[in-house]
Each structure stands twice: as structure tokens, then as C-alpha cells.
Amino acid sequence: MADSARFQHLERFCIHYFNDRDCPKGEACNYQHKARFEVEKVRHNISEEFFLGRIRTNQRVCRFFRRGNCIHQENCHYRHDNDNSCRNLPRTNSQNNTNRNSNRSNTSTNMPSTSQTSDVVNKNIINKNQTDIDNKENDELNCPNNEEKKKLQSAEEGEEEEEEEGACASPPLNSINDSWVNAPEFVPKSISQARPRSYAEALSPDNIAEINANRKLCPYVNKDGICRNLTDCTYLHGEMCDMCERLILHPYNEEQRKRHRQECIKQHEKNMELSFAIARSKEKSCGVCFEVIMEKAIGEQRFGILPNCNHCFCLSCIRKWRQARQFENKIIRACPECRVTSDFVCPSMYWVDTKEDKEKLIDDYKTALSRKDCKYFKKGQGKCPFGNKCFYLHAFPDGSKCDVGPPPRQRRHRGVDTDIDVLQQVMLWDFLDERDFPWQSLADDLEDLVSFFYRFG
Amino acid sequence: MANIAAQRIKREFKEVIKSEEVAKCAIKVELLNDSYTELKGEIAGPPDTPYEGGNFVLEIKVPETYPFNPPKVRFITKIWHPNISSVTGAICLDILKDQWAAAMTLRTVLLSLQALLSAAEPDDPQDAVVARQYKENLEMFQLTARHWTNVYAGGPHVNSDCDEKIKRLVDMGIEDHQARAALSSYNWDLERATEQLFS
């Protein structure tokens, strides 16, 4: 498989050369002498596999390896921490190792007396086993001689313990047997900054995380989030986002992931809002034509929202009603159902239920109108009868806004009482829909407005 | 006919047929032609009124501009009521004129008319004679209305005194309805009615 080939490839470099740019074996070294940047480059490539969810496991220390019985050995996906390996090996193994070591050192120094030393070693082992058994017996009997015997034993084992100290922080097995309650706590060897790095660390150094975070995602990923050339592509590939189901999450850049997540949630909320809006609008019928508004012809599926009551009409019907000249203003300004007077009709693609939604809708409507030039003001050339009560934009050609003041009133009404002012306003509103009418007939104009209001998507 | 009016009348028909008032036989609507422009309505006289037990037939004409304009409604069944012409059956009801609202339906119109029968508005009369009687002699008004209901709308209350007086005028060669109208207008005063008829 390509994956395992890459692993093997990685393991072929010399760790000494990686750490010190120098290898004691020099030219004779069996491993490749690769510069640090080269190894890290390979690591980049390997990180592509992240997207398949495999390499992440490599960051963790293999627990079987810690126990010393990982069957995968070199090919294990988890980290085999070479540096601390011996402390993790079971006691018996290390004992044997140390014995073997001492054996070897003896061999190297005292070549002729091999049999003698081996005898001594064997004796030692036998002795120790004897003392082990003795100790157990003593423990059971709570013998007062225990202390002395312990001293004796430690003297015997002194050499071994000294050797072990550097490699292993765990107490000797027999002292655990002795009184495991008093056993010293496990303290991992402090990791020095200058310490040479292991293979595993070389393959996942900390500084690479930062470099990785700034790497760009594969530009060849198409709309579906799939790179066609996945096996050979050297770019970084995103992880699957479970909301938009696109392979877009940056494997290393937490910020990007968070940002994308928020965008997705926002999008999701928008979609939910839209589906709720559709759900609540679907059944609504117009109080004038009695037709279900969402089932009307395309272009007529618009709601006309009255600001002061909650009765549902289609935009064309309520506008037509408000233009009925055969009735008094009071009648046509009023809701055909409840006769509550509303000053204007707000077009909407969807029905609004709650007060908050409605307020937002009307605000949006007014905002949208306020961006359109008033047809009466004509960028300063005309005069708007609605004054600053007008919903439309009163601005000069250079874009500067103009406050034309309150709508003109007839002098004789001034100061009589406020009712007349209100009446005056209502009268002015009467023109609004009429004025909206040509605007409505300009289909494009209206469409872009409506789409402006209701850009749910 | 404008599409919207026909569509709406169709829908309203379904609404009226489903309504509980139809189940109680209080109102009824029938089609007179295929274009949904002319309809026949029927309302039952409301209980505890002189119109109780009567069945009043209405002519409904749907304008092309419906529902932005009210339907034209009049009583075909003759009725003695201050707001309804005893001669033409024309109705004086604000919602059928300037107080119309586009959300109103045939059903609400018929129910409004039924309500009008139980609560007359003599200060806004259609028939001034009836309104005057209503205001000056309510008992006489109720008697007359009940008699009219009996004769024209199939009401159960027979008034033999009225029938007697009408018969005498009919015997003089006066047409039945003319005699009843004259007598009703003069509080069933036979002399004044005769005087009016022959003057």
C-alpha cells in the first residue's frame, strides 16, 4: 500500500543526522542522511493522510508499546517513544538486560575468566532469588530482622540499581513486594529542551503545526469538495464538515475550522428560518380573493402585510382594495377584515407571524425604500408633498441628503388641534399607494426590491 | 366577468355550504346562472321577532368588480321593515353601500341581513312609512310585520282581523297587495285606507 510505503520511507532516515546534522557512523550509516527540512517536507505529505483520519493516531503513544508487547512493532500507527522505552519495559526484562550488560562488560574487560564471572553472576541471581523468598517469608512473619536483611539485599543489588537509575524511575520489583504502599510515586523523567528528538517527534514537531495551519487547502477541490487527483495531489485536503458535507475544514487551522463552523451554523439558521417562513406561509389564503397565496401564479405569490393588524392578503388584492375610489378613505385605508386603519402595505415574500418578525420586515422595507430616489423630489428638482415623512430618498445628485422639513400643511389647520394634523397625515398617506402603483407596474423595479427585502438565501 | 369575482363566488359557495348556518337552515344560497353573477339567497326570520317562522328570498347580483364592490342585494319576498322598502325590497344596510369591505362574503352579508331583521334602524330608514310606524306604534308595527310574514314568507301567525279588513277592500275591487299595503300604512284603519285608495 502507498501508506505503508511512505511510513517505511520515513523511517529510513537517520535520527542522529536529523538531530545533530552529524552521524557517528558517517558514510557507513545504514540510514539515509536527510536534512531536517526534507524530513519535514515528507511529513507534510503524510499529513495529507489526515483527511483520511489515519495519521492523527500516530500522535499518541502506543499503549502496547509501553507494556512492551506491541505486535506491530515498527509498523504500528501509534507512537513508539524510543527514548523512554526502557522504563516502560517490565521489570523482568530490564533485569535481564542489566545482567546481560554487566555480563557483556565483564566479557570485554576480563576475557579469560569468562566462566568464573558467569558463575558469580549465576550465584548472584540464585542468591537474590533466595533473598526474595526469604523476604516474603519475613514479611509474613513480621520478622524483626527484616531491616538488616533489606540492607544486605540492597548492598548486593547496589551495582544493578545504580545502573538502572538513569533509565528507570520505577522502584525495584522486590521493594514493591516489600511494601508497595510506600513505593515512590511514578515521576516521568523531565524532558530537557536540548534533548535530541526521537523519530516520532521528528515526524510531528510542534513548529510544524504552525506551518501547517497556514497552508492553503487544495485549490483543485471542486464544488463537491473532492480533489480528482487525490492520491497524487500534494496539497492539503480539508476534513468533512458535517453540516455542509463538504471537505472544507482545515486539518490544522483551528481558527479556520471555527470560522467555517460558524458560517455553517449561520447558513443552517437561515435555511431553517426560510423553511419556517414557507411552512407558516404555505396555507395562508388571501382575505379578498380567498386564494392560497403561495399557490397563486408566479409573480403574484406576494403577501401584503398591514402594519397595524394581522390579517393576511395578497399584495395585489390589498393594493387594489386600497385604490378603490368608490369608498371613503377611511374605509379603504382600513383592513377589509377588521377595519383597523393602516397607513401603508408592506410587500413580503412570506407571511410574518410574530411582532418581532413584522417589525423587522417593515424596517427592512423602509430601509430599502429610503435608498430609492423619490420620484417627486427628483434629486432636488421637484418638490415632495410628503416632506420628511416620505419613505423615499431625498438626495441631490452628488449624494448629499436633504431634509425637506415636515410636509406642508394648510395654514388654517395649524394650531387648531392635533386631530387635524393626524387627519392631514392620513390624507397624505392616501397618496402613497397611488404613488406606489406605477412603481408596482414596473415589474423589474419591484422585483429587485422584493428580492432585496427577502434575500433569505 | 372578471376572473377574481367568479373564483371568489365559487369559493364562497363552498364556504356557505359547509357553514353551520346552512345546517341550521338559517341561510341558503342558490345559483341562478352559470356565470356566478346572479344568485338566490334565502334567510330564515330570526326567532323572537315578527319575522319568526318566515322564509325570505333575496336577489343577489354580483358585480364584475366583486369583491372590491359589494353585491347588489334586495328582498324578493315582501317584508314590513323600516330599513327595507315594502314596495321594491331595496335594503338600506351600510355594508351593502359605503361600509363594504373586501373580506366580506355572501355568508356574512346574509347573516348581516338576518341581524338587520332582528335589530331595525328606524333612524336610517329605507321605508319612511314603516319607520314612522315603528317609532310611533311599535305594537302596530309588530302586528303588521307578523301579518306580512304570514302572508308572504309563510309565517305561522294568522291574523283574522287583518284578513277581514283586506277582504272588504278586495271586495271593493282593490288588488290584494295594494289593499294590504294601504291598510298597513294607516295602522289598519279601514276608513283612512279606503279614503287613500279611492282619492
> Using one digit for the tens of pLDDT, what is the confidence trace for A72-116?
777 776 777 664 444 444 444 444 444 444 444 444 444 444 444
Residue A412 has pLDDT above 50, yes or no: no
Distance CA(A257)–CA(A245), nearest Å, equals: 14
pLDDT top residue among A232 and A322: A322
Instruction: Tell me, yes or no, if B25 is annotated catalytic.
Output: no
B181 or A89, higher pLDDT:
B181
| Cross-chain Cβ contact B98/A331 below 8 Å | yes
Instruction: Yes or no: say if B60 and B40 are a contact pair by the CB < 8 Å rule.
Output: yes
- d(Cα B109, Cα B128) in Å, to the nearest integer? 23
**Cell, residue A272:** 431553517
Residue B123's pLDDT is 92
Check: CB of residue A377 under 8 Å from CB of residue A389. Answer: no
pLDDT band at B135 (very low <50, low <70, confident <90, very high): very high
Domains identified in chain B and CATH numbers: 3-118 (3.10.110.10), 128-198 (no CATH)
Contact A288 B67 (CB under 8 A): yes
Say which residue the cell 503513544 belongs to: A61
* Range of lowest pLDDT (A45-54, A236-245, A403-412): A45-54
What residue type is B98 in one-letter code?
D
- On the question of pLDDT at A134 being above 90, the answer is no
Tell me what pLDDT residue A99 has: 43
Do A326 and B101 count as a contact with CB atoms less than 8 A apart?
no
Average pLDDT over residues B78-87: 94
Q: Which residue, A173, A152, A199, is CA-closest to A31?
A: A199
**Contacting residues for A410 by C-beta, under 8 A, at least 6 apart:** A424
Asked if the model's pLDDT at residue A432 lies above 60, the reply is no
pLDDT at residue A308 above 60? yes
Q: Determine contact, residues A389/A407, Cβ cutoff 8 Å.
A: yes
Percent of chain B with pLDDT over 90: 65
pLDDT of residue B75: 95
- In chain B, residues with a C-beta closer than 8 Å to the C-beta of A328 are 98
A291 inside 8 A of chain B by CB: yes
Assign residue A21 a region: left if phi > 0, alpha if psi is -120 to 50, beta otherwise? left
Contact between B102 and A321 using a beta-carbon 8 Å cutoff: yes
Which residues lie across from A222 on neighbouring strands? none
Rounded average pLDDT over A326-353: 88
Cα–Cα dist A128/A157, whole Å = 8
Whether the ipTM is more than 0.95: the answer is: no
Query: What does pTM read for this prediction?
Result: 0.58
Residues from chain A contacting residue B68 (CB–CB below 8 Å): 288, 320-321, 324
Rg (CA), chain B: 18
Q: Does A290 contact B12 at a Cβ distance shorter than 8 Å?
A: yes
- What's the pLDDT band for A57 if we cut at 50, 70, 90? very low
- Which residues numbered 144-183 in B keep a CB inside 8 Å of some CB on A? none
Helix (H) and strand (E) counts in chain A:
17, 5
pLDDT band at B51 (very low <50, low <70, confident <90, very high): very high
Higher pLDDT, A123 or B176: B176
DSSP, res B100: -
Q: What is the mean pLDDT of residues A161-177?
A: 47
**String of DSSP letters for B124-187:** S-SSHHHHHHHHH-HHHHHHHHHHHHHHHS--S---HHHHHHHHHHHHTT--HHHHHHHHHHTT
Q: How many CA atoms lie within 13 A of A17 on its CB side?
A: 20
Task: Kindly report the average pLDDT of chain B as a whole number.
Answer: 90
User: How much is the pLDDT for A171?
Assistant: 47
Give the residue ranges of DSSP H helices in B19-127: 20-23, 106-118
pLDDT value, residue A111: 43
- Is B104 in CB contact (< 8 Å) with chain A? yes
Residue with the bigger pLDDT between A397 and A210: it is: A397
**What one-character DSSP code corresponds to residue A375?**
T
DSSP B60: E
The grid cell for A28 is 557507513
User: Comparing C-alpha atoms, which of B73, B78, B60, B82 is closest to residue B129?
Assistant: B82
Catalytic residue among B92, B117, B145, B174: B92
Task: Tell me what pLDDT residue A456 has.
Answer: 38
Q: Assess whether pLDDT exceeds 90 at residue A157.
A: no
Predicted pLDDT of residue B143: 93
> From CA A62, how far away is CA B166, in angstroms rounded?
118
Q: Say if residue A302's pLDDT is above 60.
A: yes
Which residues in chain A are contacts of B12 at CB distance < 8 A? 290
Summary mean pLDDT of chain A: 66
**Which of residues A385 and B50 earns the better pLDDT score?**
B50
The single-letter DSSP state of residue A416 is T
